[in-house]
């Protein structure tokens, strides 16, 4: 952002430096004539940055700006093109804006790759008529009244951007013709968000469309290169939210990204590239981004962890949490730094969360239920490990135990179910699930032990068979010797 500001300042300064050209422009016959007839375009052009740079109308429209003879000035021989149409509009801008030399000539240091970015962007695709791009430069920047982007009058000034984008993106009829599945309520949602409300109040700092989607090189959300592709969203948000200096005036923490990166969700999304893992917008919303309230946290988490949320809602904890105004999921699992929910969270050990409220002397029932639940799930885990060890031993001995191995998945499933069932905080229901897993592990242990027994049985069987065959071979050998001796 600071780079853009510097560039804009430079342009403004360059405008002043080129004041000689401005004087020249006074001699611009196109402008003189059109202004004299009260042309709106000429009136707008007065405020245009290009006007200040001494750029004549003829730069885009062609013709001879030095001639006061209309027929001569606007003749084909003088190169008059009239009003550029379709891609000609962008071509007229690109003539200078894609040329670093030309930009240098005007003392501007703004980038010259906008056109390349636009061509590759979603807006660079062909429009319905098939002859031009969907978006031309003037779609966002206007035609004759172009001002610096730092100028609050610019349609691409931060506080104006939502409205500029919304011109098309909030128009259902227009958007339907390009992408019927794309929502058109982004602007109205945005206006309800913290970002949108501050933006509407004239604060240019909060995120608007361009902050997240980019400007000239906007890519579809499904494109992995897009700044709003799921794996890129945290970095995009953190661009502002991890900038302590930038966020200073808003008095909110700036460690969310650092915490999120270490969380189970962050690791899944950023390290394992699992796009089903939640990014910032999954919990906070995107266009209507806002921190979820205490009462809605379980609904937000429950949009993925549906069963856990449902069990919690019907558990006795729901009422207690509501009374104490505790954020539901967050109280035990934290928010941005959600780590993998291991069994350690359950029970009454120092790192468990239950005993934070259920103290032995103050809430003995909850204390003992938590203790028992932990004991049960530990038993299941240990039984599962023992069963796994047994079948691994059998497997190492070359036994076929694929079925037992497959069966053991049911025990793992039961353990996962039990972890979910914890959220019911109902000991009987929890034990029912754990017992299901324990039955599986017992069956697998028997199969594993049988396979190991079979292994030794095979060896004993082999020993007996080899002894018998060898004995037979010995008898045969002695018989052969006898008949061969006889023959001699």
Partner 1 sequence: MKNFWKKLYDWVNERVQLDDLVKFMGKKYVPVHRHSIWYYFGGVSLFFFVIQVVTGILLLFYYKGSSDLAFESVQFIMAKVQFGWLVRSIHAWSANLFILSVFVHMFSVYFEKAYRKPREITWVTGMLMFFMCLGFGFSGYLLPWNTLSFFATKVGTDITGAVPVIGEPLKIFIRGGEDVNGATLSRLFGFHVALFPGIFTILLAVHLILIQRQGISEPMHFKEKNPSEKKTMPFFPNFILRDLLLWLLVLNLLAVLAVFFPADLGHKADPFSSAPAGIKPEWYFLFMFQSLKYFPSHIFFAEGETVGILLFGAAGILWLLVPFWDMKSSRGERNRFINYLGLFAVMFIIILTFLGWRS
**Which residues here bind partner 1, judged by CB under 8 A?**
398, 400-403, 458-459, 461-462, 465-466, 469-470, 472-473, 476-477, 479-480, 483-484, 487
Least distance (Å) from partner 1 to the CB of residue 407? Answer: 12
Query: Please, what is the minimum distance in Å from the beta carbon of residue 474 to partner 1?
Result: 9
The residue among 250, 307, 302 whose CA lies nearest residue 423 is 307
- Minimum Å distance from CB 446 to partner 1? 14
To the nearest whole angstrom, how small is the minimum distance from the Cβ of residue 462 to partner 1? 4
Q: Least Å distance between CB 387 and partner 1?
A: 17
User: For the residues of 83-136, what is the DSSP string, one character each?
Assistant: S--THHHHHHHHHHHT-HHHHHHTT----S-HHHHHHHSGGGSB-TTSSSBS--
Nearest distance, CB of residue 322 and partner 1, angstroms: 51
Nearer to partner 1, 16 or 480 (CB): 480
Cβ density class 292-305: b for 16+ within 10 Å, e for less: beeeebbebbbeeb
The 3 state secondary structure assigned to 274-341 is CCCCCCHHHHHCCCCCCCCCHHHHHHHHHCCCHHHHHHHHCCHHHHHHHHHCCCHHHHHHCCCCCCCC
307 vs 475, beta carbon nearer partner 1 = 475
Residues 6+ apart with CB under 8 A from 431: 376
Between 174 and 479, whose beta carbon lies closer to partner 1?
479
d(CA 4, CA 139): 20
- Cα(203)–Cα(225) distance, rounded to whole angstroms? 29
For the CA atoms of 403, 407, 412, 416, the dihedral, rounded to the nearest 10 degrees, stands at 140
Smallest gap from residue 231 Cβ to partner 1 (A): 25
Measured from the CB atom, the residue of 252 and 473 that comes closer to partner 1 is 473
List beta partners, residue 133: 126
**Quick one: 333 or 445, whose CB is closer to partner 1?**
445
Q: Name residue, tokens 């128009």.
A: 171
Nearer to partner 1, 1 or 469 (CB): 469
CB 478, min distance to partner 1, A: 10
Longest dimension (CA), the chain: 141
> What is the smallest separation between the CB atom of 409 and partner 1, expressed in angstroms?
16
Query: Which two three-digit tokens encode residue 262?
Result: 């270490």
d(CA 309, CA 299): 7
Name the one residue in this structure whose structure tokens are 């594993």.
Answer: 448
Nearer to partner 1, 378 or 450 (CB): 450
Q: Measure the CA–CA gap between 448 and 204, rounded to whole angstroms.
A: 67
Both structure tokens of 479: 């018989």
Shortest distance (Å) from residue 306 CB to partner 1 = 31
**CB neighbours of residue 308 within 10 Å:** 21
- 3-state secondary structure (DSSP) of residue 11: helix
Q: Which lies closer to partner 1 via its Cβ, residue 262 or residue 481?
A: 481
How far is 339 from 343, CA to CA, in rounded Å? Answer: 12
Residue 488 CB, nearest distance to partner 1 (Å)? 11
Shortest Å distance, C-beta 384 to partner 1: 21
Closest to partner 1 by CB, 71 or 484 = 484
Nearer to partner 1 by Cβ, of 77 and 460: the residue is 460
Q: Considering beta carbons, is residue 369 or 401 the nearer one to partner 1? A: 401
Nearest to 59 by CA among 93, 11, 32, 36: 93
Nearer to partner 1, 82 or 461 (CB): 461
Q: Which helix (H) or strand (E) holds 457?
A: helix 427-487
Place of tokens 């030095």: 66
């Amino acid at each position: 952002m600071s780079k853009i500001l510097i560039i804009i300042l430079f342009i403004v300064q360059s405008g002043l430096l080129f004041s000689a050209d401005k004087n020249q422009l006074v001699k611009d016959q196109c402008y003189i004539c059109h202004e004299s007839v009260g042309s709106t375009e000429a009136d707008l052009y007065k405020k245009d940055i290009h006007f200040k740079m001494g750029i004549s109308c003829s730069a885009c429209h062609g013709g001879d700006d030095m001639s006061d003879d209309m027929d001569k000035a606007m003749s084909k021989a003088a190169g008059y093109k009239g009003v550029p149409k379709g891609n000609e509009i962008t071509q007229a801008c690109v003539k200078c804006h894609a040329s670093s030399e030309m930009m240098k000539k005007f003392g501007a240091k703004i980038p010259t790759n906008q056109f390349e970015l636009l061509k590759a962007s979603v807006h660079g695709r062909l429009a319905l008529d098939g002859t031009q791009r969907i978006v031309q430069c003037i779609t966002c920047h206007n035609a004759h009244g172009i001002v610096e982007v730092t100028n609050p009058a610019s349609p691409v000034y931060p506080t104006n951007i939502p409205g500029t984008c919304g011109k098309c993106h909030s128009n259902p009829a227009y958007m339907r013709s390009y992408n019927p599945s794309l929502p058109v309520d982004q602007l109205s949602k945005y206006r309800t968000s913290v970002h949108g409300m501050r933006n509407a109040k004239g604060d240019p700092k909060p995120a608007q469309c361009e902050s997240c989607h980019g400007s000239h090189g906007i890519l579809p959300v499904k494109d992995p290169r897009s700044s709003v592709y799921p794996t890129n969203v945290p970095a995009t948000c953190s661009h502002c939210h991890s900038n302590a200096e930038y966020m200073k005036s808003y008095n909110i923490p700036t460690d969310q990204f650092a915490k999120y990166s270490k969380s189970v969700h962050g690791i899944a999304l950023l390290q394992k590239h699992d796009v089903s893992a939640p990014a910032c917008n999954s919990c906070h919303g995107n266009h209507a981004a806002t921190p979820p309230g205490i009462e809605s946290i379980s609904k937000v988490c429950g949009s993925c962890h549906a069963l856990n949320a449902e069990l919690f809602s019907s558990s006795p904890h729901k009422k207690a949490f509501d009374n104490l105004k505790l954020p539901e999921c967050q109280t035990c699992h934290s928010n941005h730094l959600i780590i993998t929910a291991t069994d350690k969270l359950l029970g009454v050990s120092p790192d468990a969360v239950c005993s934070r409220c259920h103290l032995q002397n103050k809430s003995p029932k909850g204390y003992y239920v938590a203790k028992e639940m932990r004991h049960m799930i530990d038993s299941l885990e240990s039984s599962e490990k023992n069963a796994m060890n047994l079948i691994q031993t059998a497997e190492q001995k070359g036994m076929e135990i694929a079925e037992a191995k497959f069966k053991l998945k049911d025990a793992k499933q039961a353990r996962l179910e039990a972890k979910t069932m914890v959220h019911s905080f109902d000991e009987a229901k929890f034990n029912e699930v754990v017992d299901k897993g324990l039955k599986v592990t017992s069956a697998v242990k028997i199969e594993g032990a049988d396979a190991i027994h079979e292994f030794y049985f095979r060896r004993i069987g082999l020993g007996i068979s080899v002894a018998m065959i060898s004995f037979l071979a010995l008898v045969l050998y002695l018989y052969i010797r006898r008949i061969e001796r006889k023959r001699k």
